[in-house]
């Protein structure tokens, strides 16, 4: 057996040429010929996008063209709107509960090529400011939308297509049913039907309470919304989640702008009787769904009778409008106006 005490230790030293030099003995001046590293031919790995960059907030400019605050006469209510496009009919967009008008940003960037877009922050959401932030009754929300339209257009209403997602879909239907818009040209409801919505209400408080409630940065809130499935599209989340948050000075972190859990008494009113009201609206109608399982009996019969058009957009989740796949809306507008 060889006496290991007589063996000098081997020390690897990195050479400037990128190979590995092997020295014999810590103090030895003898150097063995440099041999190329097995890794010297592998290109450097490109820098990976950090979580901070990946989920950083995005500015809405470039998607919408401008924003404005609409003050309602005789009240202290001020509603924030985002606008895009310069000609064509108005596509007036109403977001779902807990979202904001910026949830339509990706859609607006495409629709504005053919029409004008207005996306409103509803009461208690986004940058809107009202005397009673918790009054999310369907009557109040519908009245708010009509008040904003009358303030913006006065006696010269353009042709308007109402688009509403989830809770906003219910608001759009009730606004259309009031027959108060002189030139209402169409109604588009995004992923909300009475049967499924009513059945899900018993789970809503649990869903809301299970959400992460506080975030040290806006980026963390964006990351959670994507990974938690609230918004599957990262770009849309980076655009819209910041407007769904507010800073809590007492806790030194961000939390949700809208206190949905305190509005439960209004939830049933959003969806009760919605299918029949939708079917009764005397305008062309389009229902965008994330799955056919969402149809209830009334809508199934109405669809078979040709009372509305229906398009199923799969693999998007509940917030269909946060994707660029707005070809259904574009085709629908084309059929109405061209």
Catalytic residue, chosen from 100, 107, 128, 166, is: 166
Instruction: Read off the tokens for 218.
Output: 């806006």
Identify any residues that bridge with 246 across adjacent strands, giving them in sequence order.
255
Catalytic residue, chosen from 128, 191, 225, 243, is: 191
Q: Phi/psi at 331 (nearest 5 deg)?
A: -65, -40
Identify any residues that bridge with 116 across adjacent strands, giving them in sequence order.
90
Instruction: Read off the tokens for 198.
Output: 């009513």
Q: Which of 200, 193, 235, 215 is nearest to 105 (CA)?
A: 235
How do 245-248 and 10-14 pair as beta strands?
Answer: unpaired
Q: How many Cβ atoms from other residues are within 10 Å of residue 58's Cβ? A: 19
Residues near 248 by beta carbon (within 8 Å), at least 6 away in sequence: 214, 254, 255
E strands, the chain, where? 10-14, 20-24, 66-71, 78-84, 90-94, 116-120, 160-165, 184-190, 245-248, 253-256, 285-289, 309-312
3-class secondary-structure state, position 99:
coil
Is residue 236 part of the annotated active site? The answer reads: no
Q: Measure the CA–CA gap between 122 and 108, rounded to whole angstroms.
A: 17
The DSSP 8-state label assigned to residue 189 in this structure reads E
The DSSP 8-state label assigned to residue 238 in this structure reads H
Phi-psi region of 27 (alpha: psi -120 to 50; beta: other; left: phi over 0): alpha
Catalytic residue, chosen from 125, 165, 174, 318, is: 318
Is residue 166 part of the annotated active site? The answer reads: yes
Q: Phi/psi at 324 (nearest 5 deg)?
A: -75, -5
The set of catalytic residues is 166, 191, 318
């Amino acid at each position: 057996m060889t006496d290991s005490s007589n063996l000098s230790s081997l020390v690897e030293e990195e050479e400037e040429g990128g190979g590995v030099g092997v020295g014999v003995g810590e103090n030895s001046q003898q150097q063995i010929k440099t041999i190329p590293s097995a890794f010297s031919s592998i290109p450097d790995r490109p820098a990976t996008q950090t979580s901070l960059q990946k989920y950083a907030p995005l500015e809405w400019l470039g998607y919408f063209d401008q924003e404005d605050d609409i003050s309602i006469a005789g009240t202290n209510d001020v509603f924030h709107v985002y606008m895009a496009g310069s000609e064509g009919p108005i596509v007036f967009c109403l977001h779902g509960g807990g979202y904001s008008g910026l949830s339509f940003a990706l859609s607006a960037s495409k629709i504005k090529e053919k029409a004008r877009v207005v996306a409103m922050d509803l009461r208690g959401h986004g940058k809107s400011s009202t005397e009673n932030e918790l009054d999310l009754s369907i009557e109040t929300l519908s009245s708010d939308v009509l008040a904003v339209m009358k303030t913006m257009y006065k006696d010269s209403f353009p042709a308007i297509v109402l688009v509403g997602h989830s809770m906003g879909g219910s608001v759009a239907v009730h606004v259309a049913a009031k027959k108060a818009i002189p030139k209402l040209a169409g109604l588009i409801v995004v992923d909300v039907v009475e049967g499924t919505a009513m059945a899900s209400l018993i789970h809503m408080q649990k869903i809301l309470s299970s959400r992460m409630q506080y975030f040290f940065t806006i980026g963390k809130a964006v990351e959670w919304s994507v990974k938690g499935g609230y918004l599957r599209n990262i770009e849309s989340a980076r655009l819209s989640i910041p407007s769904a948050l507010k800073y809590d000075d007492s806790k030194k972190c961000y939390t949700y702008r809208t206190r949905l859990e305190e509005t439960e008494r209004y939830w049933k009113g959003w969806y009760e009787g919605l299918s029949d009201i939708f079917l009764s609206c005397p305008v062309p109608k389009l229902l965008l769904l994330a799955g056919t399982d969402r149809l209830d009996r009334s809508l199934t019969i109405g669809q078979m009778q040709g009372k509305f058009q229906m398009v199923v957009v799969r693999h998007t989740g509940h917030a269909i409008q946060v994707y660029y796949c707005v070809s259904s809306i574009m085709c629908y507008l084309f059929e109405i106006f061209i």
